[in-house]
Chains A and B, each alone.
Chain A
Amino acid sequence: MKLSEIARILESEFLTGENKKDVDFHYCRGCDLMSDVLAAFADGSVFLTGLVTIQAVRTASISGAGAIVFVRNKKPSADIVALAREEDIPLLVTPLTMFVSCGRLYEGGLTGVNGNR
Protein backbone atom coordinates (compact mmCIF):
# COMPACT_ATOMS: atom_id res chain seq x y z
CA MET A 1 0.00 0.00 0.00
CA LYS A 2 1.42 3.37 -0.98
CA LEU A 3 2.01 5.92 1.76
CA SER A 4 -0.45 8.27 0.05
CA GLU A 5 -3.14 5.58 0.43
CA ILE A 6 -2.23 5.05 4.08
CA ALA A 7 -2.58 8.81 4.61
CA ARG A 8 -5.99 8.79 2.92
CA ILE A 9 -7.29 5.78 4.87
CA LEU A 10 -6.16 7.32 8.16
CA GLU A 11 -7.51 10.77 7.29
CA SER A 12 -4.07 12.03 8.18
CA GLU A 13 -1.88 14.95 7.22
CA PHE A 14 1.81 14.92 6.37
CA LEU A 15 4.06 16.92 8.67
CA THR A 16 7.12 15.96 6.64
CA GLY A 17 8.05 13.37 4.03
CA GLU A 18 5.30 13.93 1.47
CA ASN A 19 7.94 13.31 -1.20
CA LYS A 20 7.75 9.63 -0.18
CA LYS A 21 4.00 9.31 -0.79
CA ASP A 22 4.58 6.75 -3.55
CA VAL A 23 6.70 4.41 -1.38
CA ASP A 24 5.05 1.00 -0.83
CA PHE A 25 4.46 -0.37 2.66
CA HIS A 26 3.59 -3.97 3.50
CA TYR A 27 3.80 -4.10 7.30
CA CYS A 28 2.42 -2.14 10.22
CA ARG A 29 3.23 -1.91 13.89
CA GLY A 30 1.15 -0.09 16.50
CA CYS A 31 3.17 0.33 19.68
CA ASP A 32 3.99 2.74 22.48
CA LEU A 33 6.76 0.62 23.96
CA MET A 34 10.00 1.52 22.22
CA SER A 35 11.90 -1.58 23.36
CA ASP A 36 9.18 -3.72 21.75
CA VAL A 37 9.74 -1.85 18.51
CA LEU A 38 13.48 -2.47 18.78
CA ALA A 39 12.94 -6.18 19.46
CA ALA A 40 12.11 -6.91 15.81
CA PHE A 41 13.35 -5.49 12.53
CA ALA A 42 10.79 -3.39 10.77
CA ASP A 43 12.01 -2.61 7.28
CA GLY A 44 9.19 -1.46 5.05
CA SER A 45 6.81 -0.89 7.93
CA VAL A 46 4.65 1.99 9.02
CA PHE A 47 4.94 2.68 12.74
CA LEU A 48 1.82 3.87 14.58
CA THR A 49 2.30 5.33 18.03
CA GLY A 50 0.72 7.62 20.57
CA LEU A 51 4.09 8.38 22.10
CA VAL A 52 5.08 11.76 20.75
CA THR A 53 8.73 12.07 21.74
CA ILE A 54 12.02 12.56 19.97
CA GLN A 55 12.83 8.96 20.94
CA ALA A 56 9.93 7.71 18.83
CA VAL A 57 11.73 9.11 15.77
CA ARG A 58 15.10 7.69 16.82
CA THR A 59 13.47 4.31 17.50
CA ALA A 60 11.89 4.37 14.04
CA SER A 61 15.22 5.24 12.45
CA ILE A 62 17.11 2.51 14.26
CA SER A 63 14.48 -0.20 13.75
CA GLY A 64 14.15 0.63 10.06
CA ALA A 65 10.55 1.83 10.09
CA GLY A 66 9.74 3.73 6.92
CA ALA A 67 7.12 6.12 8.26
CA ILE A 68 5.59 7.24 11.57
CA VAL A 69 1.93 8.03 12.21
CA PHE A 70 1.05 9.75 15.48
CA VAL A 71 -2.47 8.70 16.52
CA ARG A 72 -5.20 10.54 18.46
CA ASN A 73 -4.27 13.82 16.80
CA LYS A 74 -1.10 14.18 18.84
CA LYS A 75 0.99 16.94 17.32
CA PRO A 76 4.77 16.71 17.69
CA SER A 77 6.94 19.70 18.53
CA ALA A 78 9.07 21.39 15.88
CA ASP A 79 12.27 19.63 17.00
CA ILE A 80 10.61 16.21 16.54
CA VAL A 81 9.50 17.14 13.02
CA ALA A 82 12.98 18.49 12.28
CA LEU A 83 14.63 15.24 13.38
CA ALA A 84 12.23 13.18 11.23
CA ARG A 85 13.09 15.40 8.27
CA GLU A 86 16.81 14.94 9.00
CA GLU A 87 16.35 11.16 9.25
CA ASP A 88 14.25 11.20 6.07
CA ILE A 89 11.28 9.55 7.80
CA PRO A 90 7.78 10.72 6.80
CA LEU A 91 5.71 11.93 9.74
CA LEU A 92 1.91 11.91 9.70
CA VAL A 93 -0.79 12.73 12.23
CA THR A 94 -4.20 11.07 12.30
CA PRO A 95 -7.24 12.03 14.40
CA LEU A 96 -8.10 8.32 14.68
CA THR A 97 -7.33 6.15 17.68
CA MET A 98 -4.68 3.43 17.62
CA PHE A 99 -7.40 0.73 17.46
CA VAL A 100 -9.25 2.24 14.53
CA SER A 101 -6.04 3.13 12.69
CA CYS A 102 -4.74 -0.44 12.95
CA GLY A 103 -8.14 -1.80 11.94
CA ARG A 104 -8.31 0.31 8.81
CA LEU A 105 -4.77 -0.60 7.72
CA TYR A 106 -5.43 -4.29 8.41
CA GLU A 107 -8.57 -4.08 6.29
CA GLY A 108 -6.46 -2.42 3.60
CA GLY A 109 -4.14 -5.43 3.45
CA LEU A 110 -1.18 -4.58 5.68
CA THR A 111 0.25 -7.31 7.92
CA GLY A 112 2.14 -7.24 11.21
CA VAL A 113 5.92 -6.88 10.98
CA ASN A 114 6.21 -10.67 11.27
CA GLY A 115 3.92 -11.08 8.26
CA ASN A 116 0.97 -12.36 10.31
CA ARG A 117 -2.65 -11.38 9.75
Chain B
Amino acid sequence: MPVIHKSYHVTKNDFIHAGEASIHVKNLLKSLNYDSDLVRRVAICGYEAEMNLVMHGGDGELSVDVSQSKVVIEVTDKGPGIADVELAMQEGYSTAKDEYREMGFGAGMGLPNIKKNSDEMTISSEPGSGTHVTMVFFCKG
Protein backbone atom coordinates (compact mmCIF):
# COMPACT_ATOMS: atom_id res chain seq x y z
CA MET B 1 0.00 0.00 0.00
CA PRO B 2 1.43 3.42 -0.91
CA VAL B 3 1.79 5.97 1.87
CA ILE B 4 -1.16 8.35 1.99
CA HIS B 5 -0.22 11.89 2.98
CA LYS B 6 -2.71 14.52 4.10
CA SER B 7 -2.05 17.98 5.44
CA TYR B 8 -4.40 20.42 7.16
CA HIS B 9 -4.05 24.05 8.13
CA VAL B 10 -5.34 24.88 11.61
CA THR B 11 -6.19 28.49 12.45
CA LYS B 12 -5.68 30.15 15.83
CA ASN B 13 -8.89 30.77 17.80
CA ASP B 14 -11.04 29.00 15.18
CA PHE B 15 -13.20 26.92 17.51
CA ILE B 16 -15.86 26.43 14.89
CA HIS B 17 -13.65 24.35 12.61
CA ALA B 18 -11.30 22.88 15.22
CA GLY B 19 -11.50 19.11 15.06
CA GLU B 20 -12.48 18.87 11.40
CA ALA B 21 -9.04 17.57 10.41
CA SER B 22 -9.13 14.82 13.04
CA ILE B 23 -12.62 13.72 12.05
CA HIS B 24 -11.44 13.65 8.41
CA VAL B 25 -8.47 11.46 9.40
CA LYS B 26 -10.73 9.22 11.48
CA ASN B 27 -13.10 8.71 8.54
CA LEU B 28 -10.15 8.05 6.20
CA LEU B 29 -8.76 5.32 8.48
CA LYS B 30 -12.20 3.79 8.95
CA SER B 31 -12.70 3.68 5.18
CA LEU B 32 -9.36 1.85 4.90
CA ASN B 33 -10.55 -0.69 7.52
CA TYR B 34 -7.90 0.09 10.13
CA ASP B 35 -8.40 -1.43 13.58
CA SER B 36 -11.07 0.52 15.50
CA ASP B 37 -8.85 0.92 18.57
CA LEU B 38 -6.09 2.48 16.44
CA VAL B 39 -8.60 4.73 14.68
CA ARG B 40 -9.91 5.97 18.02
CA ARG B 41 -6.42 6.62 19.42
CA VAL B 42 -5.34 8.52 16.30
CA ALA B 43 -8.52 10.61 16.35
CA ILE B 44 -8.18 11.51 20.03
CA CYS B 45 -4.53 12.52 19.69
CA GLY B 46 -5.17 14.50 16.52
CA TYR B 47 -8.08 16.29 18.11
CA GLU B 48 -6.16 17.21 21.26
CA ALA B 49 -3.31 18.47 19.08
CA GLU B 50 -5.70 20.51 16.96
CA MET B 51 -7.20 22.11 20.06
CA ASN B 52 -3.71 22.93 21.31
CA LEU B 53 -2.99 24.67 18.00
CA VAL B 54 -6.23 26.65 18.21
CA MET B 55 -5.69 27.65 21.85
CA HIS B 56 -1.95 28.08 22.12
CA GLY B 57 -0.08 27.56 18.91
CA GLY B 58 -1.13 30.26 16.58
CA ASP B 59 -1.67 29.08 13.04
CA GLY B 60 -0.18 25.68 12.41
CA GLU B 61 -0.17 22.53 10.31
CA LEU B 62 -1.33 19.02 11.10
CA SER B 63 -0.12 16.36 8.70
CA VAL B 64 -0.71 12.64 8.66
CA ASP B 65 1.10 9.81 6.89
CA VAL B 66 -0.79 6.54 6.67
CA SER B 67 1.01 3.34 5.72
CA GLN B 68 0.30 -0.33 6.22
CA SER B 69 2.44 -0.57 9.35
CA LYS B 70 1.86 2.77 11.07
CA VAL B 71 0.15 6.13 11.19
CA VAL B 72 2.27 9.21 11.89
CA ILE B 73 0.86 12.61 12.82
CA GLU B 74 3.07 15.69 12.84
CA VAL B 75 1.92 19.00 14.26
CA THR B 76 3.92 22.17 13.78
CA ASP B 77 3.14 25.71 14.82
CA LYS B 78 4.78 29.09 14.93
CA GLY B 79 3.30 30.01 18.30
CA PRO B 80 5.03 31.22 21.44
CA GLY B 81 6.52 27.81 22.22
CA ILE B 82 6.58 26.01 25.57
CA ALA B 83 8.95 27.27 28.25
CA ASP B 84 9.01 24.03 30.27
CA VAL B 85 8.02 20.96 28.25
CA GLU B 86 8.34 18.61 31.22
CA LEU B 87 5.90 20.76 33.20
CA ALA B 88 3.51 20.99 30.24
CA MET B 89 3.39 17.19 30.07
CA GLN B 90 2.05 16.98 33.63
CA GLU B 91 -1.67 16.32 33.87
CA GLY B 92 -3.49 19.39 35.16
CA TYR B 93 -0.86 21.95 34.20
CA SER B 94 -2.28 24.54 31.83
CA THR B 95 -1.72 28.08 30.66
CA ALA B 96 -5.08 28.23 28.86
CA LYS B 97 -7.25 31.31 29.13
CA ASP B 98 -10.58 31.15 30.99
CA GLU B 99 -12.52 31.44 27.71
CA TYR B 100 -11.02 28.12 26.57
CA ARG B 101 -11.81 26.46 29.89
CA GLU B 102 -15.41 27.59 29.58
CA MET B 103 -15.55 25.64 26.33
CA GLY B 104 -14.46 22.44 28.05
CA PHE B 105 -10.78 22.53 27.13
CA GLY B 106 -7.61 23.91 28.64
CA ALA B 107 -7.61 21.68 31.71
CA GLY B 108 -4.05 20.53 31.20
CA MET B 109 -4.96 17.13 29.80
CA GLY B 110 -4.18 17.55 26.10
CA LEU B 111 -0.52 16.55 26.01
CA PRO B 112 -0.96 13.80 28.65
CA ASN B 113 -3.87 12.39 26.61
CA ILE B 114 -1.67 12.39 23.51
CA LYS B 115 1.13 10.59 25.38
CA LYS B 116 -1.31 8.03 26.76
CA ASN B 117 -2.96 7.23 23.42
CA SER B 118 0.05 7.22 21.08
CA ASP B 119 2.71 4.50 20.81
CA GLU B 120 5.51 7.06 20.46
CA MET B 121 5.44 10.78 21.08
CA THR B 122 8.15 13.37 20.74
CA ILE B 123 7.82 17.06 21.45
CA SER B 124 10.30 19.82 20.82
CA SER B 125 9.76 23.44 21.65
CA GLU B 126 11.61 26.60 22.49
CA PRO B 127 10.08 29.86 23.67
CA GLY B 128 9.64 32.09 20.65
CA SER B 129 10.20 29.40 18.04
CA GLY B 130 7.04 27.32 18.07
CA THR B 131 6.37 23.69 18.86
CA HIS B 132 6.70 20.43 16.94
CA VAL B 133 4.92 17.27 18.06
CA THR B 134 5.25 13.86 16.41
CA MET B 135 2.93 10.96 17.26
CA VAL B 136 3.34 7.43 15.97
CA PHE B 137 0.70 4.68 16.07
CA PHE B 138 1.72 1.15 15.10
CA CYS B 139 -0.75 -1.14 13.40
CA LYS B 140 -1.33 -4.55 14.95
CA GLY B 141 -0.03 -7.59 13.15
Contact = CB atoms under 8 A, between A and B. Distances in A.
- A-B complex is real: yes
A62 B44 contact: yes
Nearest to A34: B104
User: Which range holds the interface residue count of chain B?
Assistant: 20 to 34
B15 A39 contact: no
Q: Is the interface of A mostly helix, strand, loop or mixed?
A: helix
Q: Is the interface of B mostly helix, strand, loop or mixed?
A: helix
B22 interface: yes
Interface in B18-77: 18-20, 22-23, 26, 40, 43-44, 47-48
A58 B50 CA distance: 12
Given A33-B107, A35-B105, A38-B47, A54 B40 contact: no
Nearest to B101: A33
Nearest to A64: B40
The 10 closest A-B pairs by CB, nearest first: A35-B109, A34-B104, A58-B19, A62-B43, A51-B104, A62-B47, A38-B44, A35-B107, A33-B104, A34-B105
23 contacts: A34-B105, A35-B48, A35-B104, A35-B107, A35-B110, A35-B113, A36-B109, A38-B109, A51-B103, A53-B15, A53-B103, A54-B15, A54-B16, A55-B15, A55-B19, A58-B20, A62-B22, A62-B23, A62-B43, A62-B44, A62-B47, A63-B40, A64-B40
Interface of A: 32-36, 38-39, 41, 51, 53-56, 58-59, 61-64, 87
